[in-house]
Amino acid sequence: MIKIPEKIMLANLPTRIEKLERLSQKLGGPNVYIKRDDQTGTEVSGNKIRKLEFSVREALDQGCDVLITCGGIQSNHCRATAAVASRIGIKSALLLKGNANIELDGNLFIDRLLGAEIHFITPEEYKNNRAEIMEKIKTELEQQGCKPYIIPEGASNGIGGFGYYNAMEEIISQEKEIGVHFDTIILAVGSGGTYSGLFLASKTLGYTGEIYGINVCDDAEHFKSEIYKISHESMQYLDIDLQFSKDEIHIIDGYVGKGYSLSRPEEIHFIHEFAKLEGIILDPVYTGKAMYGLVEEIKKGTFKNCKDILFIHTGGVFGLFPQKNLFTF
């Protein structure tokens, strides 16, 4: 049996799997279920905490006392990192893409509340130099006597990927409990680590369902390359050489819309209608786009041969508040 790295226990696990009864009935197609990874916690809610359980364990094992990471100004990952740092009694430094003068709302407000040290940079600096800037912050902290640990965007690297390797083990166990095997697992893809963990686990554990990511930024080829890379980084921890091709990585392109964290009216309308239909809140950056994409693909007949589909709700509710003005009631 493959032994994955150790983790710290921070998330509320296992998360529930629920059937979306009314959505399934309305679509008249496959049964659609949802895995409530939005309920992994409150301050640490969403998919990021699963990855951080592994990343932060590695940081603590190395004797580190500051977590450095990066993301957009409303980054769920950065908020979760700040929350974890405060919970275990160490510091956090966040590199955020955006304007320091923006309204204090959503995840940014929580970051401040948690006492994170925040550095703002331009979108251009973030795209081209974020790794270099984080290294500079690390050096400055080391000069102050700290021992920092850098976590990449979304904790999407080899060690972080085990968060969703572990989640796949959880899903397989839950399938046995509820008597359902999912033909397809669907999730939003924003940095690749969540998909990578599920994908690697499906290969090593012999899972027969297909995994589809719906990208919320960049394009399918970009994420196939990222997922391929992250999966190979994870394999180094396992000391295995699993052979697979990028063609086995399934990304459904076409739902990025206006771009990352930018919402179209039809996406906002869908989030509102879904909330009224199922009593579940999606976020505008990740799950809103991905669930909208899934519903559109079901309508097109993409999954007509599927019986049971599992959608992973990766959280992000705090990101809804800065976009509240887009909603009309």
Is residue 75 annotated as part of the catalytic site, yes or no?
A: yes
Number of domains in the chain: 2
Peptide bond into 284 cis (omega under 30): no
Identified catalytic residue from 45, 55, 75, 231:
75
Query: Distance between CA atoms of 297 and 286, rounded to whole angstroms?
Result: 16
Domain identity same for 97 and 211: no
Domain identity same for 149 and 171: no
Last residue of a domain, one of 131, 155, 179: 155
Give me the phi and psi of 240, to 5 degrees please.
Answer: -125, 160
In a domain, 204, yes or no: yes
Domain identity same for 199 and 225: yes
- Tell me if 92 sits within 8 A of 117, measured CB to CB: yes
Measured CA to CA in angstroms, residue 192 lies from 22, 71, 197, 218, 219 at distances of 30, 14, 9, 11, 12
- Tell me if 102 sits within 8 A of 137, measured CB to CB: no
* Most distant pair of Cα atoms in the chain: their distance: 61
Q: Can you give the CATH number for the domain in which 310 is found?
A: 3.40.50.1100
Domain identity same for 161 and 207: yes
Domain identity same for 148 and 282: no
Closest CA to 116 of 100, 140, 90, 94: 94
Q: pLDDT by residue for the chain (329 residues), tens digit each?
A: 789 999 999 999 999 999 999 999 999 989 999 999 999 999 999 999 999 999 999 999 999 999 999 999 999 999 999 999 999 999 999 999 999 999 999 999 999 999 999 999 999 999 999 999 999 999 999 999 999 999 999 999 999 999 999 999 999 999 999 999 999 999 999 999 999 999 999 999 999 999 999 999 999 999 999 999 999 999 999 988 899 999 999 999 999 999 999 999 999 999 999 999 999 999 999 999 999 999 999 999 999 999 999 999 999 999 999 999 999 99
In a domain, 2, yes or no: no
Query: Distance between CA atoms of 57 and 168, rounded to whole angstroms?
Result: 20
Domain identity same for 257 and 298: yes
- Provide the pLDDT for residue 180: 98
Looking at the chain, which runs of residues are DSSP E strands? 17-19, 31-36, 66-72, 91-97, 117-121, 148-150, 184-189, 210-215, 250-252, 308-313
Measured CA to CA in angstroms, residue 299 lies from 32, 122, 303, 310 at distances of 13, 39, 9, 16
Q: Which runs of consecutive H residues, i.e. helices, occur in 144-205?
A: 162-178, 193-205
Element (H, E) at 89: none
For the CA atoms of 123, 125, 128, 134, the dihedral, rounded to the nearest 10 degrees, stands at -120
Closest CA to 180 of 30, 15, 28: 30
Domain identity same for 297 and 170: yes
pTM over 0.75: yes
- Provide the pLDDT for residue 175: 98
- Tell me if 270 sits within 8 A of 292, measured CB to CB: yes
In a domain, 8, yes or no: no
Query: Distance between CA atoms of 224 and 69, rounded to whole angstroms?
Result: 23
Domain identity same for 103 and 26: no
Domain identity same for 28 and 175: yes
Closest CA to 37 of 58, 56, 52, 59: 52
Domain identity same for 77 and 100: yes
- Tell me if 308 sits within 8 A of 38, measured CB to CB: no
Closest CA to 50 of 163, 194, 139: 163
Last residue of a domain, one of 123, 155, 187: 155
Domain identity same for 22 and 77: no
- Tell me if 69 sits within 8 A of 149, measured CB to CB: no
Please tell me what DSSP assigns to residue 16: P
Query: Distance between CA atoms of 244 and 228, rounded to whole angstroms?
Result: 9
Q: Which residues pair with 96 in a beta bridge?
A: 71, 120
- Tell me if 110 sits within 8 A of 79, measured CB to CB: yes
- Provide the pLDDT for residue 241: 84
Residue numbers of the domain that contains 287: 17-46+157-326
- Provide the pLDDT for residue 85: 98
Last residue of a domain, one of 155, 187, 204: 155
Instruction: Give the CA angle between residues 230, 231, 232 to the nearest 5°.
Output: 90
